[in-house]
Chains A and B, each alone.
Chain A
Amino acid sequence: MKENFAKKITHEDLVFMKIQDRSPLYLPQLKSFDAVIIEYSNQLATKEIVKKIRCHNMESVYLIPIFVYKIYEEESGAQNPLIDGTIHSLNNLAKVAEVARKINNKLTT
């Protein structure tokens, strides 16, 4: 993992990968994480990286829960149907952890 761009965040039993939307990413490394948090800088870059993940051929990559981290809310129309939620702070990940757990449980059953 390139430390400059990606960061590992642990919340209870879950391990999130936090990346910036414009940072380079080797997608297969996502398979060892429970979810990915993409730090938003602009709509196009976030959309591109989400699309890349969802277009990957490995199931553990294309089905990974994706959350977008936006410090402030922006009026950007409808939410991208490919993401699983938006967060505004990294201090409280309980809500996204719940969503990630639910998705991952579905995938393992």
Chain B
Amino acid sequence: MTLNCIIVDDEKTSRIAMSSLVDHSDSLNLVGIAESGEQALELLDEKQVDLIFLDVMMPSMSGFEFLDEIEDNNNVKVILVTGKKDFAVKAFDYAISDYLVKPVSRNRFKESVQRIRKSVSVGSDSDFPNNLLLLKLIRFMHSRDMNFLEPVPSRKSLLGYTYAMLTDNLDFANEADALDILEEAEDNEILTGKFVDTIYLCNSCSNSYLNIREVCPNCDSSHLVSNDLIHHFSCAYMGEISEFKAAGYGETLICPKCEKKLKHIGVDYDKPAAIFNCRGCAHSFQDPLIRAKCLNCGADQKVEHLVKKEIKRYHLTAKGKDMAEGNHYVKIRNNGEQMPDEGESTDYFIRALKNEIKRKSIAEFDSSVGMFRLWNISELYQRIGNAAKRDLQKELQQILSNDLAAGDEITFWDYETILVLFPEQRKEDVESVMHKMAERVKELIKDNFDDFDLELKMAVLKVKEDITYERTINELLEKASKSNV
């Protein structure tokens, strides 16, 4: 889950330092910077903000005065950032989420953001930005007796369609979140949807404004000229129409082989196909590739890699009305940009590995830990885009889990690295299981992306009582990078 945050600080150097910390965090999305409390109030009006990094000592409106102004806004978390420690008690009175003293260290910052993320994910059901948006939508629909939420075609929208309240509350770059929210709401029977249209989106930025065109299979250039191919029945000559035009005069076509005049299409000649000539590389071919160029982010992708989505009109269900009246919490899953297994599962894996290392020191048994490195997978991720990337990772995790025993643990360490813990299993046995898993991964990639050759690396180590989990993982990384499956 990514939190939208703003920085409020009157000092330029502090603003730069904080924005650098925010930029380095995968969990944060910086939506604005304010030099004063007044500017921050304006930002709160304009943007969907989940978290504020707030300076205390500001000239026209102090951090605490700002907090007084937003006391009704329960949806936003605040981290105070100040040069003095003296405000800690007062900050406690304001029930702020955390307190950072300048200069803010990277570790302290990370710890603070992690704490906020955790509190958001276990907090009230409406804390997720998506839940809040859905709540806004259904309260709006219900209060207006709106029978249907209609998709409105719009040239200015990322998706080509807008939904009242939803699209308005999302930044242009995140407008596709509206579809995720509506899909989840439908799955949760809060809304029912009726098909209106199918759209295709850029797999990188979800934009629907695409330039779809034929390109050369040799050099990917779209600078092509097409010519009809003519089959002259009487002499069986087949050639481009330009040859027949060159042999003829005006609109009259003459066969360059038998020199007869072509009379009627379908009677003495036919146009069975077209031939393309690439102006870029002079390649001639009959079957061009069809590619879609995104006019928002510029990504050029195969049309089969575009993301297909359904556009529907939605109706509020009885359950949805109940939720709108506050009789039930609004809760849908968060569809944010996250790995299938990010966060808590990785923490859990580390705890399990640490436990295994500890157990080794008091009992006599063999445990193993393995690693897969999908060495060149980033090339594929880039090609297929974010949505397909997430689906592929989910599928990878699922397929790998099939070979695991009940006590085994698996986690995505990062987008390219998978860790597997095999408690009480010998290294030799684990190696054969890992080879089987590697085969499955390769098959999955080959079945879905036949033009991509995955370079898969793998390593297995015994869990040792005198080697820390960090060293174990580092050794695996090193060993795997030298291997080849």
Contacts and interface: CB of A to CB of B under 8 A. Distances in A.
A and B associate: yes
Contacts of B144: 84, 103
Given A82-B168, A109-B325, A27 B142 contact: no
A103 to B, nearest CB: 5
Nearest to A61: B45
B72 A55 contact: no
Contact of B139 (A58, A63, A82): A63
A55 B76 CA distance: 14
B329 interface: no
A108 B72 CA distance: 18
A109 B139 CA distance: 12
Given A63-B143, A103-B144, A78 B152 contact: yes
Contacts of A109: 325
A60 B118 CA distance: 28
Contacts, number: 51
B136 interface: yes
B140 interface: yes
A107 interface: yes
Interface in A12-71: 26-28, 31, 51-52, 54-59, 62-63
Interface string B92-119: 0000000000000000000000000000
A28 B169 CA distance: 17
Nearest to B70: A28
Interface string B159-171: 0000011001100
Interface in A56-109: 56-59, 62-63, 78, 81-82, 84, 102-103, 106-107, 109
Contacts of B49: 57
A46 to B, nearest CB: 14
A27 B152 contact: no
Contact of A82 (B44, B69, B143, B165): B165
Given A63-B139, A103-B144, A106-B142, A57 B73 contact: yes
A27 B143 contact: no
Given A26-B41, A103-B144, A55 B46 contact: yes
Given A28-B72, A54-B169, A59-B139, A81 B164 contact: yes
Contacts of B76: 57
Given A28-B72, A55-B169, A81-B150, A103 B164 contact: no
A51 B168 contact: yes
B168 A56 contact: no
Contact of A54 (B41, B44, B132, B165): B165
A66 B165 CA distance: 14
B124 to A, nearest CB: 14
A31 B70 CA distance: 13
B367 interface: no
A51 B157 CA distance: 14
A57 B142 CA distance: 18
B115 to A, nearest CB: 22
B156 to A, nearest CB: 11
Interface in B127-151: 132, 136, 139-140, 142-145, 150
A62 B143 contact: no
Contact of B75 (A52, A57, A102): A57
B14 interface: no
B48 interface: yes
- Residue among A26, A31, A54, A55 with max Cβ neighbours from chain B (10 Å): A55
Nearest to A99: B144
Nearest to A84: B144
Contact of B45 (A52, A103, A106): A52
B140 A63 contact: yes
A57 B126 CA distance: 12
A52 B46 contact: yes
A81 B75 contact: no
Contacts of A62: 136, 140
Contacts of B69: 28
Nearest to A48: B46
Contacts of A78: 152
B234 to A, nearest CB: 59
Contact of B168 (A55, A57, A107): A55
A43 to B, nearest CB: 13
Interface string B49-82: 1000000000000000000010011011000000
B321 to A, nearest CB: 10
A58 B341 CA distance: 34
Contacts of A84: 144
B75 to A, nearest CB: 5
Contacts of A81: 150, 152, 164
Given A55-B45, A57-B73, A81-B152, 9 more contacts: A54-B140, A54-B168, A57-B48, A57-B75, A59-B139, A62-B140, A78-B152, A82-B164, A84-B144
Interface of B: 41, 44-49, 69, 72-73, 75-76, 132, 136, 139-140, 142-145, 150, 152, 164-165, 168-169, 325
14 contacts: A27-B45, A28-B69, A52-B46, A54-B168, A55-B46, A57-B48, A57-B75, A63-B139, A81-B150, A82-B164, A84-B144, A102-B145, A106-B145, A109-B325
Q: Which 3 A-B pairs have the closest CB atoms?
A: A81-B164, A106-B143, A27-B45
